[in-house]
Amino acid sequence: MKKIILAIAGFFIIQNSFAQIDYMQNELKLNIGNTIAIASVEVGYERFLDFNQSIDAEILINDRMNYHSEKNSRQFNTTSFKLGYNFYFGTESSGSEFFANPFAKIRTGEFTEVVQVEEEDVRRVTDMGAFIIGIGGGYKWNFNDSFVLGPYANIGRNFSNEVKDRFSAVEFNAGFSVGYRF
């Protein structure tokens, strides 16, 4: 009998604690800007810890280094995994606000290009594997506490000598995100 009473009491306590949450706790998003511009698919998920902070996880397929093109037999075959923390600067009632996003990212894959060496085409492959830390920011418009969109940009530092020798140690990424909160 005690177990049943404790289970019922626990159920009502948990239900009451969730009923007091007056903000959406999850967000699915897509960087539609980069999908259209450079055929990079960037899909993310945010889990809100409070109305002004969240944990952010993203997967970036065909993650291009600083928007380098794939012309002239150059090809990126990369995937990145990003984990970040978002802090929103607005008030609880605004729904639309600026945010900051410190993050860590791991990239895997390679970059392939055909170069001329002594009048002969040679295929050169660069290992794009890197650990990257950085910070970003942006603005989100929240419509009816469900549909979210807005621009963002971030800058990061990669710690791969091979990537740094071929490209740069500093990486830039931007986009326009479209999301849904639930």
Model's pTM, two decimal places?
Answer: 0.78
The predicted pLDDT at position 64 comes to: 77
pLDDT digits (tens, 9 = 90+) for 31-41: 998 888 888 89
**Distance from C-alpha of 159 to C-alpha of 131, rounded to nearest angstrom:** 6
Least confident of 3-17, 55-69, 166-180: 3-17
Least confident of 70-74, 85-89, 116-120, 167-171: 70-74
The predicted pLDDT at position 37 comes to: 83
- From residue 157, alpha-carbon distances to 2, 17, 66, 84, 102 in Å are 57, 41, 12, 15, 12
**Portion of the chain with pLDDT greater than 90, in percent:** 50
DSSP 3-state of 13: helix
What is the signed CA dihedral for 64, 101, 58, 104, rounded to 10 degrees?
Answer: 70
88's enclosing H/E stretch is strand 74-88
**Portion of the chain with pLDDT greater than 70, in percent:** 81
pLDDT digits (tens, 9 = 90+) for 53-104: 999 999 999 887 767 666 766 788 899 999 999 999 977 665 679 999 999 9
Q: With a cut of 50, say whether residue 19 has pLDDT above it.
A: no
Q: With a cut of 90, say whether residue 44 has pLDDT above it.
A: yes
Domains and CATH numbers, the chain: 25-181 (2.40.160.20)
